């Protein structure tokens, strides 16, 4: 029997993973996940769910909802991606990661099927989450999509409610190169006769959502048309205001459907998201004097929000630690950051890394204070050594979005 680490190494080395190898890991239909779950007895049918999709904010929204359900006394499952350190971050019940023994046993028990099915990393992670939540007899599970919606491996559930946070241009090679095309893919999680909450819309996306909801006889609720008191949360960043509005709209709808959630549950849930769910990487303050912040924003829509938040901070000098994968438009991303900052470009330890020598060749000359490192660790150490107590270090590693390691 493998150890836990040997099991994780086997998954990483044997299964295609978007974060590591890119497009070749993508599966264009739900055949694999459907077959896997049928083989396992369809565990996803044994508990209730809320399904979350969107370009940005779906992780924060998922964790806020989970925290509120926990405060209301419900045993709550939560599956999100990617993980930052431990694979089991993807599968939680009441904030606690899945047991190591469960992961070991799952892979050992189903290894032949995994190989025969030629399953992707993300498909196995989702199947594993479904199985764990069924075994744990959760009352509700918050299911975050990986990439898109219509063909996402999570899209075999029949949820209590669907939530789409917003639409931006990201993963255009898979989802389409316009907002309306991407909206159509995300709208794929809208189920017949099941309400959907839309967090934000644009002139291009709103008609798409309305048409899909109409076709499926699904009630559609637009969070941006709602007005709530701005409740405080331990998730920092001005961009969380929109996510909180989406969450409150979703909770309001779930209350109408019979879920018992009090105002106190909502207040405490929003205040204790990190404590209840162990969320990391959302304007994550890692240190003070100098202020050190890490965030997983990885596309133009998310980076625009983060840029606003950086501009609201008080600091003497800004230090930016940036790493990229090779399918990111580096020059477009750099437009979101001030030229006068000190830049520490680094090379992430993943196969899809943007080679540091190639990166050196394309960084524009108007970024004058720039340094290059062959690892994230060296870049961060240099930033810490150079920063004064009144400076700010912002860490943005633009490869954590395996969105879908499908």
CATH code of the domain containing 251: 3.40.1190.10
Whether 41 and 180 map to the same domain: the answer is yes
> Strands of 370-373's sheet, edge to edge?
284-287, 291-295, 392-398, 318-324, 342-346, 370-373
- 342 and 227, same domain (yes or no): no
State the total domains in the chain. 2
**pLDDT at residue 265 tops 50:** yes
Q: Select the more confidently predicted residue: 312 or 43.
A: 43
Check whether the bond before 26 is cis (ω within 30° of 0). no
The pLDDT score that the predictor gives to residue 39 is: 96
Please say which residue of 262, 277, 292 terminates a domain.
277
Maximum separation of any 2 CA atoms in the chain, in Å: 59
Which residues span the domain enclosing 11? Answer: 4-277
Q: Residue 346 belongs to what H/E stretch? A: strand 342-346
Average pLDDT over residues 284-300: 84
Whether 307 has a pLDDT exceeding 90, the answer reads no
Residue 18 has pLDDT above 50, yes or no: no
Residues 310 and 377 in one domain: yes
In a 13 Å sphere around the CA of 187, the CA atoms on its Cβ side amount to 22
Establish if 406 belongs to a structural domain: no
Residue 403 lies in a domain: no
Position 405 in a domain:
no
DSSP 173: H
165 and 291 part of one domain: no
The string of pLDDT tens digits covering residues 103-129 is 999 999 999 999 998 888 999 999 999
Q: Do 319 and 174 lie in a common domain?
A: no
Residue 25: per-residue pLDDT: 47
Query: Considering the domain boundaries, does residue 191 fall inside one?
Result: yes
Three-class secondary structure assignment of 291-322: EEEEECCCCHHHHHHHHHHHHCCCCCCEEEEE
**pLDDT class for 401, splitting at 50, 70, 90?**
very low
Sorting pLDDT into bands at 50, 70 and 90, what band is 402? very low
* pLDDT per residue as tens digits for the range 203-242: 999 999 999 999 999 999 999 999 999 899 998 777 789 9
Task: Identify the domain boundary among 277, 292, 315.
Answer: 277
The token duo for 298 is: 């990885």
Q: What is the pLDDT of residue 406?
A: 33
Whole-number percent of the chain with pLDDT over 70:
91
Percent of the chain at pLDDT above 90?
Answer: 69
201 with 181, same domain?
yes
Whether 123 and 148 share a structural domain? yes
Q: Which of 230, 258, 277 is the last residue of a domain?
A: 277
The answer to whether 396 and 322 are in contact (CB under 8 A) is yes
Q: 163: closest CA among 259, 269, 54?
A: 54
> Is 240 contained in some domain?
yes
Q: 248 and 102, same structural domain? A: yes
* Range with lowest mean pLDDT among 119-123, 301-305, 360-364: 301-305
Question: HSE of 226 in the Cβ direction (CA atoms, 13 Å)?
Answer: 24
- Residue 84 placed within a domain: yes
Same domain, 140 and 244: yes
Q: 270 and 333: one domain?
A: no
Residue 389 maps to a domain: yes
Q: Is the pLDDT of residue 77 over 50?
A: yes
Question: Do residues 229 and 354 both lie within one domain?
Answer: no
Give the global pTM.
0.81
Q: Where are the alpha helices (DSSP H) in 326-371?
A: 330-334, 356-362
**CATH at 381:** 3.90.190.20
Mean pLDDT estimate for the chain: 89
Strand 284-287 and strand 291-295: pairing?
antiparallel
Q: Is residue 404 part of a domain?
A: no
Taking the C-alpha atoms of residue 342 and residue 319, their distance in angstroms, rounded to an integer, is: 5
Residues 109 and 254 in one domain: yes
């Amino acid at each position: 029997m493998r150890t836990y680490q040997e099991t994780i190494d086997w998954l990483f080395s044997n299964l295609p993973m978007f974060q590591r190898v890119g497009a070749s890991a993508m599966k264009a239909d739900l055949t694999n996940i459907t077959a896997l779950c049928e083989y396992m007895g369809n565990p996803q049918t044994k508990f209730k769910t809320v399904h979350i999709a969107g370009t940005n904010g779906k992780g924060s929204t998922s964790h806020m909802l989970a925290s509120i359900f926990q405060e209301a006394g419900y045993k709550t499952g939560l599956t999100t991606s990617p993980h930052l350190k431990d694979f089991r971050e993807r599968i939680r019940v009441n904030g606690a990661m899945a047991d190591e023994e469960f992961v070991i046993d799952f892979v050992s028990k189903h290894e032949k099927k995994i190989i025969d099915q030629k399953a992707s990393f993300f498909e196995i992670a989702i199947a594993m989450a479904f199985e764990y939540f069924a075994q744990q007899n959760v009352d509700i599970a918050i299911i975050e999509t990986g990439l898109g919606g219509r063909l996402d491996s999570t899209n075999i559930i029949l949820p209590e409610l669907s939530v789409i946070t917003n639409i931006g241009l990201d993963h255009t090679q898979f989802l389409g190169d316009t907002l309306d095309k991407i909206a159509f893919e995300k709208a794929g999680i809208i189920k017949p006769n099941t309400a959907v909450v839309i967090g934000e819309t644009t002139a291009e996306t709103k008609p798409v959502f309305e048409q899909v909801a109409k076709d499926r006889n699904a009630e559609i609720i637009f969070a941006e048309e709602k007005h709530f008191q701005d409740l405080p949360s331990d998730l920092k960043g001005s961009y969380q205001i929109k996510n909180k509005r989406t969450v409150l709209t979703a909770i309001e709808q779930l209350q109408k459907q019979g879920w018992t959630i009090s105002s106190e549950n909502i207040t405490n849930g929003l205040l204790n998201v990190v404590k209840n769910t162990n969320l990391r990487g959302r304007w994550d303050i890692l240190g003070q004097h100098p202020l050190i912040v890490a965030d997983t924003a990885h596309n133009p829509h998310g980076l625009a929000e983060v840029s606003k938040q950086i501009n609201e901070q008080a600091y003497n000098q800004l230090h930016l630690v940036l790493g990229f994968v090779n399918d990111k438009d580096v020059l477009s991303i750099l437009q979101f950051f001030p030229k006068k900052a000190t830049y520490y470009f680094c090379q992430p330890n993943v196969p899809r890394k943007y080679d540091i020598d190639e990166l050196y060749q394309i960084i524009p000359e108007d970024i004058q204070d720039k340094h290059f490192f062959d690892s994230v660790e060296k870049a961060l150490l240099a930033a810490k050594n150079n920063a004064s107590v009144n400076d700010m270090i912002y860490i943005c590693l633009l490869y954590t979005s395996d969105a879908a390691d499908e």
